[in-house]
Structure 1
Amino acid sequence: MIRHLVLFKLDEGVERDDPRVVEGVAAFRALDGTIPEIRTWELGWNFSDRPIAYDFAINSSFDDPAALGRYLEHPAHQAGVALWREFATWVIADYEF
């Protein structure tokens, strides 16, 4: 199994209630059940106020690297990524477990 972790940091001055952010979150919420390669799907807002904390996270899993690759290339995933590029940066980690 492959774990795919993504941590998002909103750009300076962008708030959670910004309509672009609301649309971006909705786009990623909708991926669960849309892309068959997804085995587990969790996402949510960080509640920590530590200065090193990121704002939003996605924790997902896939059967193997090929399934992760198909997910990454899926048009619905790419559409969500395009939305988030407008207001955030992110880091990822992919690992076997």
Structure 2
Amino acid sequence: MIRHLVLFKLNEGVARDEPRVAAGVRAFEELGGLVPELEFWECAWNITDRDIAYDFAINSAVADHAALTRYLQHPAHQAAADRWREFATWVIADYEI
């Protein structure tokens, strides 16, 4: 099994309550039910207020490398990521569990 973690940082001047951000959050909230390869899916806003903290997180899991590739190439994932490219940057970590 592979854990796929993503941490998002909103770009300078971008607020959580902007319509485009809300649409991006909805796209990720819905993604867990749209991509069959996802065996575990959760996403949420960060609740801490530290300078080093990121703003939004995805924690997910897939069966193997092939499933991770299919997830990353899935049209719903591509569409959601495209939304976030407009207003955030992110870092990822993929590791075997």
Which TM-score tier does this pair reach, normalised by the shorter chain? over 0.9
**Deviation of the 1:42 alpha carbon:** 0.8
Aligned residues with identical type, % of pairs: 69
Gaps of 5+ in 1: none
1:45: Cα distance to partner? 0.4
2:69 is matched with 69
How far does residue 89 in structure 1 lie from its aligned partner after superposition?
A: 0.1
Aligned residues: 97
Task: Give 1:3 shift.
Answer: 0.1
The reply on whether 1:30 has 2:30 as its aligned counterpart is yes
Take 1:57 and 1:33, find their aligned partners in 2: how far apart are those partners?
17
TM-score calculated relative to the size of structure 1:
0.99
CA distance in 2, matches of 1:32, 1:9: 21
Query: Structure 2: any 5+ residue segments left out of the alignment?
Result: none
Q: Distance in 2 between matches of 1:69 and 1:75?
A: 12
3-state SS of paired residue (1:30): helix
Match of 1:7 in 2: 7
Could you list the structure 1 runs, at least 4 aligned residues long, displaced by more than 2 angstroms after superposition: none
Deviation at 1:43, TM superposition (A): 0.6
Q: Give yes or no for the alignment of 1:47 onto 2:55.
A: no
